[in-house]
Structure 1
Amino acid sequence: MKLKYQFLGGTFQRKRGAIKKDAHVLVFHGIMDNAGSFDHLIPLLPKQFYYVCVDLPGHGLSSHFPKHIPIYTLSYIMVYKLLTDYFDKNHYIIMGHSYGGQLGILYAQLYPQCVEKLILLDTINLIPVTSTNFKHYLVERFDNFLLFEKKMLNNGSQPTYTYDEAVDKLQLARFSPISTQAAIALSHRSLMGAENGRYRFRLDQRIKNSINPLRDFKYVIATLKADPVLCPILIILGKENKVQLRYMNPVLTHLKKFKNVKVKMVDGYHDVHSDSPELVAPYICLFLLHKKGKL
């Protein structure tokens, strides 16, 4: 039977036949991406689950946060809470790539009763802000936000691009390059038409200077000890993403001590779930289908 996809506002859902009770998988993309990040992965996953791939506020087809305020990471935690309340299920499986997974593990700490399983795609925790860097970190973001506000007040407008130029930006202007196929998947929800057949990006530009909680690795690990994530966790990491692996290592080392955490390494970079979903899907399938989340 051919799978059918339906676009609803800022969400992307896969529907097929009867829906298994409590089988909702909430799927969250990375920062400055959108639900199209999972277009190539979802069709490879078990069909008895109901996948809700969300455009976070300011991304894709979703609305932006209110104007004239900086964007804080913790505001997105409230989005996760609103979504879980909306579907009114006892618990959910959360799958997140990059920023979406970072929010996912924090949400699982805050609301453990809501999370049945957690899948992290090339990510673990929010990028820490060290005590020696906190001043530079905040001043830089506040200054950049004020520059953006000034530009908008002076009738600044977003640049426009040809479709090929826009896809090139989606492919190359990011943490690590992605395939053309993956960039095209993002483009459907990233771009809006402008004059003369050109395009603008829908992205809320304030996201580029979003503000993370002020905590370092020591604090992160202390909170994981105080409020551990007890549900089964699957972490899939790209072998070639050396920078990501290095900065995540302290928390990864801590999590590896626990039996509920499984770590799998696959060939690829930060967006391996979108570039080469066939390498990622088998691990996710086994994890989803096993009652205890063991691989």
Structure 2
Amino acid sequence: METNTKKIDEISIPVPWGHVAAKTWGEDKDPLILCIHGLMDNAGSFDRLISHLPSSYYYVCIDLPGHGKSSHFPPHLPIHTVNYLLVYKAATNYFKKKFIIMGHSYGGQIGFLYAQLYPQCVVKLIMLETVTTLPVTTEYFPKYLEEMIENHLKIIDSLATKQPPLYTREEALQRVKSNRNYSEIKLESAEALLKRAIEPVGQLYKFTLDQRIKNYVNPLKDNRYFIESVTKNPVKCPILIVLGKENGFQLTIMDSVIKFFKKSKNIKVVEVDGNHDVHNDYPERVAPLVSKFLLFQKGNL
């Protein structure tokens, strides 16, 4: 496997609410791969994986708004999944060329939606440990929205009245390692994320994460709606989906979507040993699959 040894840089993409920060690998003349992390992570999520990927691409690893070194979305309003489509649109306008999307978890979910809406912009799509946004059933949607509204108001009140907690670097590292939605990650994986997750306050550190993200609002749809939507408006570019076998919650709740994808001619679904962060914890398991998918001409699956 070719090891990526090209130069690493930082860029800033201007947006109306501030800037979107990104870490880049390689030369901007090469084919562009836009790498988007999952919720409450940052561009460091891809450090360990990209070091194993072909060096013939230009990898742009973005900090989504409210994560890492990027500006937060404008204050007071809830964070909605649709907001993040603006980031993909900003990248399209900034680079002015087609790109491959490689998204982990939430980043892959939004990437799929962007490829559905703007097929002329997306050459290939790589989705790591994800298939679609979590479903909101017709029975559950009133309670879901009520909870989102009430939780949002509590967060806004807390932000207005309380100072963010401070941590030693070791305490912050342990929080990144252990405070996960699914399972703990390895220490070296947490280190890759920590570099962009905190900023110093005197001798201590605070997290830069926009707290509203903990209560983000998803589109109101269930798996049935998603499958019907993709049937009538398919994503036609080649798609690689890599799922961790130990991520039982996702594999169960998204079972009908995964079965639907496996029947699609342009989609390859592969399960590997590992959890929801297998691309970060065990990049050597994921990299060969991604590299093969990238290097095949015309996106042959």
- Paired with 1:152 and 1:202, the residues of 2 have a C-alpha distance of 13
Q: Match for 1:173 among 170, 179, 183? A: 179
2:199 matched to 1:192?
Answer: yes
For the residues of structure 1 that align with 2:37 and 2:166, how far apart are their CA atoms? 24
Is residue 15 of structure 1 aligned with residue 26 of structure 2? yes
User: Unmatched 5+ residue regions in structure 1?
Assistant: none
Deviation, structure 1 residue 49: 0.7
CA distance, structure 2, for counterparts of residue 3 and residue 177 of structure 1:
30
- Tell me the CA shift for residue 55 of structure 1: 0.3
Deviation per CA, 1:107-134, whole angstroms, max 9, x where unpaired?
1111111111000001010111111111
Q: Secondary structure at the match of 1:61?
A: coil
Tell me by how many angstroms 1:2 deviates: 4.6
Q: SS in structure 2 opposite 1:236?
A: strand
Moved more, 59-68 or 73-82: 73-82
Q: Secondary structure at the match of 2:114?
A: helix
**Aligned: 1:148 with 2:159:** no
Structure 1 position 112 matched with structure 2 position 116 = no
Letter of the structure 1 residue corresponding to residue 25 of structure 2: R
Q: In the alignment, does 2:104 pair up with 1:93? A: no
Q: CA deviation at 1:153?
A: 2.6
Question: Which one of the candidate residues 224, 244, 254 is aligned to 2:260?
Answer: 254
Instruction: Name the CA distance, whole Å, in 1 between partners of 2:249 and 2:103.
Output: 19
Measured against aligned partners, the alpha-carbon deviations of 1:76-122 in whole angstroms (never above 9, x if no partner) come to 01211111121101x21100000000001111111111111000001
Which residue, 4, 7, 11 being the options, matches 1:4?
A: 7
Instruction: Measure, in 1, the Cα distance between the counterparts of 2:122 and 2:160.
Output: 42
Note the 1:210-229 alignment, pairs <5 A: 210-229=216-235
**Structure 2 match to 1:73:** 81
Preserved CA contact (<8 Å) 2:7 2:26: yes
- Two-structure CA RMSD over aligned residues (Å): 1.3
Q: 1:36 aligns with which of 16, 19, 44?
A: 44
AA of the residue aligned to 2:232: A
TM-score between the two structures when normalised by the length of structure 2? 0.93
What residue number does 1:49 align with? 57
User: For residues 282 and 160 of structure 2, what CA distance do their matches in structure 1 show?
Assistant: 43
Q: CA deviation at 1:61?
A: 0.1
* 1:163 corresponds to 2:169: yes
Question: TM-score, with normalisation over the residues of structure 1?
Answer: 0.95
Instruction: Give percent identity, aligned residues only.
Output: 51
Distance (Å, rounded) in 1 between the aligned partners of 2:36 and 2:83: 15
Say how many residue pairs are matched: 289
